[in-house]
A and B are shown apart, each in its own frame.
Chain A
Amino acid sequence: GENVEQHPSTLSVQEGDSAVIKCTYSDSASNYFPWYKQELGKGPQLIIDIRSNVGEKKDQRIAVTLNKTAKHFSLHITETQPEDSAVYFCATADSWGKLQFGAGTQVVVTP
């Protein structure tokens, strides 16, 4: 099966600073790259996604970049706020929507 590697596993940032999480994948058939935020005791929630025909996508303070040649994609959060503290997962999917998740990044934003 496909392997999705995610780094770092933990990330501590000061409020207002930026956070960057990086993922690599191996399956060339992957065509959809979502990012999920999971708060304690809840299910994952989609925060942004990108398709294989797009290199970058931005939604307010969140952006995702994709380098399909190098098989890596990244999540950028700017102007971090305490409510951004959560576990973030990258994932890849094939045409059936079968998600393959990274191991997650625990983000802690300190005031």
Chain B
Amino acid sequence: NAGVTQTPKFRVLKTGQSMTLLCAQDMNHEYMYWYRQDPGMGLRLIHYSVGEGTTAKGEVPDGYNVSRLKKQNFLLGLESAAPSQTSVYFCASRRLAGGQETQYFGPGTRLLVL
């Protein structure tokens, strides 16, 4: 049981380039989330999904797109990277059981846009 994994761990992009961040979970969770973390700040929600084939906008969705074609994977895309998207990106999945909930976070992807 690997939990939540993220690929890649680190990436450098030039302004205008595109890339896709991959999040995978092997816990059969329905809910998945993408957050970004900037220095000195808490995480902010970009997009989320409540199940396979569904996506919804979070607090800071502009400049990002997502897809959830398979239950275990949640992809975050940057079509045209901007320096303002330099950040650490965290994926999470949510466990709901017996009235309890837990969000499990991945190790993060560090993205630098030059």
Query: Chain A at the B interface: mostly helix, strand, loop or mixed?
Result: strand
Q: Which residues of B sit under 8 angstroms from A6, Cβ to Cβ?
A: 42
Listed stretches B62-70, B73-81, B97-105; interface member:
B97-105
Q: Which residues of B sit under 8 angstroms from A97, Cβ to Cβ?
A: 31, 33, 48, 94, 101, 103
The B1-38 residues at the A interface (CB cut-off 8 A) are 4, 31, 33, 35
Task: Across the interface, name the chain B residue whose C-beta is closest to A51.
Answer: B99
Interface size, A (range)? 20 to 34
Contact B43 A46 (CB under 8 A): no
Chain B 34-51 near chain A by CB (<8 Å), digits 1 or 0? 010000111111001010
Chain A 68-111 near chain B by CB (<8 Å), digits 1 or 0? 00000000000000000000010100001111111110000000
Name the distance in Å between B104's Cβ and chain A's nearest Cβ. 8
Name the distance in Å between A88's Cβ and chain B's nearest Cβ. 10
Q: Which residues of A sit under 8 angstroms from B108, Cβ to Cβ?
A: 41-43
Bound Cα distance A40, B45 (Å):
20
With A98-B58, A101-B42 already in contact, 7 other A-B pairs whose C-beta atoms are closer than 8 Å: A44-B90, A46-B104, A89-B42, A97-B31, A97-B94, A99-B33, A103-B42
30 of the cross-chain contacts (CB-CB < 8 Å) are A6-B42, A32-B101, A41-B107, A41-B108, A43-B90, A43-B106, A43-B108, A44-B90, A44-B105, A46-B103, A89-B42, A89-B43, A96-B31, A96-B48, A96-B50, A97-B33, A97-B101, A98-B33, A99-B33, A99-B45, A99-B103, A100-B45, A100-B59, A101-B43, A101-B44, A102-B42, A103-B41, A103-B42, A104-B41, A104-B42
